[in-house]
Copies of this chain bind each other. A is one copy, B any other.
Amino acid sequence: MSEIKKDNTEEKILNAAQAVFIQKGMDGSRMQEIADHAGINKALVHYYFRTKQKLYEAIFRKVFKQIFPKIETFILSDQPIEEKLTIFIENYIDVLLKNPYLPTFILKEINRDPEFLASVLKSQGIHPNQIFEMFEREMEDGKIRKMDPRELLVNLLSLSIFPFAAKPLMQLMLFENDKKAYKQFLQNRKTTVQEFVLNSILLKDK
Contacts and interface: CB of A to CB of B under 8 A. Distances in A.
Contact of A162 (B145, B157, B168): B157
A-B residue pairs, 7 tightest by C-beta: A200-B200, A158-B162, A114-B168, A27-B27, A27-B28, A199-B200, A162-B162
Contact of A148 (B101, B108, B192): B192
Contacts of A126: 173
A3 B165 CA distance: 42
Contact of A107 (B118, B159, B166): B166
A89 to B, nearest CB: 13
A97 interface: no
B159 A199 contact: no
Nearest to A201: B199
A110 B104 CA distance: 10
A168 B107 CA distance: 9
B111 A104 contact: yes
